[in-house]
A and B are shown apart, each in its own frame.
Chain A
Amino acid sequence: MSLLSLFQWCEQSGIGNAIRRSSWLFPVIEAIHLLGLGVIGGAVLLVDLRLLGLGLKRQSAAQLTRDAQPWIVGSLILMILTGGLLFLSEATKCYYHDAFWFKMTCLFLAIVFTFTIQRKVTMAEETRMSPGWGKVVAVVSVLLWSGVGIGGRWIGFS
């Protein structure tokens, strides 16, 4: 089965059809998706601003990562669930939309980066790591997550 036919099958699925037929389901799911974006954006920025030396400074990046973690994971789950529903309702459009593939690439990289490299750097900071690395990591993280958000917004523009 090709990827396109898989996407078409998604669009024809019961959930996809139900969301497409309703005039208010898509907007409501989308609005919840947007709330999740706000929370994950804030939690990611909390850690990244600390790494850049612009946010909370007296706390270690490791501690702030631990504080932000549940909110990042929680809103990520919320966003993947609501995003999945939105995807089911317009999968074929997504297949042909560059912004969708851009977003998925950024999302994959952002998740991997946040939970491997960034985590390692923030947790190692207590044992003195050069602050330059922290800044590089923060900039990459902000760029990747921004790519996810802005890519997502551009799926809506056709």
Chain B
Amino acid sequence: MDPETSKSGKNKFQMKHALIGLFCLLTLVLCYLVTSPTEAASRLQASNEAARQVHLISSNSASEKWTRLGELGRHAPLGSMLLQDANPVAQPPGSVLGFFQRMGDSSWSTGLHESRYAYDLIESVHVWALCLFFGLAVLFDFRLLGWTMRSVPVSEVARRLLPWTVVGFVIMVISGTLLFSAIPLRSYQNIFFRAKMIMLLLAGLNVWIFHSGIYKRVDTWDLAERAPKAARVAGALSLVLWVCIVLSGRMIAYNWFDCDRQPQPAIINFLTSCVPTQAER
């Protein structure tokens, strides 16, 4: 075995260990999140209860809404009540909406939603991993388009940087799932969330087509002045898709098209599977 291959074998070995370490760390963080926010939630519940009382008394203009919430609060735990604010109508059991509603009612979800720091921390991790994943993936796209690192073989950029994008992607998916589980029903019905998921599928398809197609023959164009058209198209598509995914991901936070903001155009209600109540129409 020549020294070069044995060296890259060793790197693979280290990479594997780094990945295992990362998974262990994430599991520990997950365990912590499961146990601790519930405690924080119970503390918050007490303070929120007090805040709600104040609202019930003081906000006359919105009194109807708050009374309605107060009614709900007698039967449901406070956390779920706050989450149902966006969609107070009970969803039929067995439906997808009902599934996410029950998910939102779980102590896991309410704990995460109401904890002082857990949600913010997970969101920070999500943003940090964006640099690792999006930043390096985009650099690879730039390389395919010939905008940077032209003297470095494409296969080498792929071999040395793409494993890091995999690490970044794993962190993104885990933190993203946690963020979703904190506000499941609203996220599921959010138009930007839906667009993001569809574009994620398309981006995955693009990666698959690239790696099973033109990249198989990479040794024929590794240092070419201009990468073949198929590779450039894949790079450009990936670039556009990931940019749109980041943009729509950021927009999930805004409620322009949320179900509780009726009236909305029929097309929006169709795309977000919202069924406005008679009063809202």
Taking Cβ atoms with an 8 Å cutoff, the residues of A that contact B are 23-24, 27, 30-31, 34-35, 37-46, 49, 54-59, 63-64, 67-68, 70-71, 145-146, 149-150, 153-154, 157
28 contacts between A and B (CB under 8 A): A23-B256, A27-B254, A30-B250, A31-B246, A31-B250, A31-B251, A34-B127, A34-B246, A34-B247, A42-B131, A43-B139, A44-B131, A44-B135, A45-B132, A45-B136, A46-B161, A55-B161, A55-B164, A56-B149, A57-B160, A59-B151, A68-B148, A70-B148, A71-B142, A71-B148, A145-B131, A153-B120, A153-B123
Determine the distance from Cα of A150 to Cα of B132 in the docked complex, in whole angstroms: 14
Number of A-B contacts (CB under 8 A): 100
Q: Which of A49, A63, A153 is B151 in contact with, Cβ under 8 Å?
A: A63
Secondary structure type dominating chain A contacts: helix
A150 neighbours in B (Cβ, 8 Å): 124, 127-128
Q: Is the CB of A34 within 8 A of B250?
A: yes
Taking Cβ atoms with an 8 Å cutoff, the residues of B that contact A are 120, 123-124, 127-128, 130-132, 134-139, 142, 148-149, 151-152, 156-157, 160-161, 164, 243, 246-247, 250-251, 253-254, 256
Q: Is the CB of B251 within 8 A of A34?
A: no
Contacts A37-B130, A42-B139 known; list 9 others, CB within 8 Å. Answer: A34-B130, A44-B131, A46-B136, A56-B152, A56-B157, A58-B152, A58-B156, A146-B128, A153-B123
Q: Which of B128, B138, B156, B160 is A42 in contact with, Cβ under 8 Å?
A: B138
What is the distance, in angstroms, from B269's C-beta to the closest C-beta of chain A?
20
Determine the distance from Cα of A146 to Cα of B132 in the docked complex, in whole angstroms: 11
**Given A27-B254, A31-B251, A154-B120; A42-B149 close (CB under 8 Å):** no
What is the distance, in angstroms, from A35's C-beta to the closest C-beta of chain B?
6
Q: Which of A57, A64, A145 is B149 in contact with, Cβ under 8 Å?
A: A64
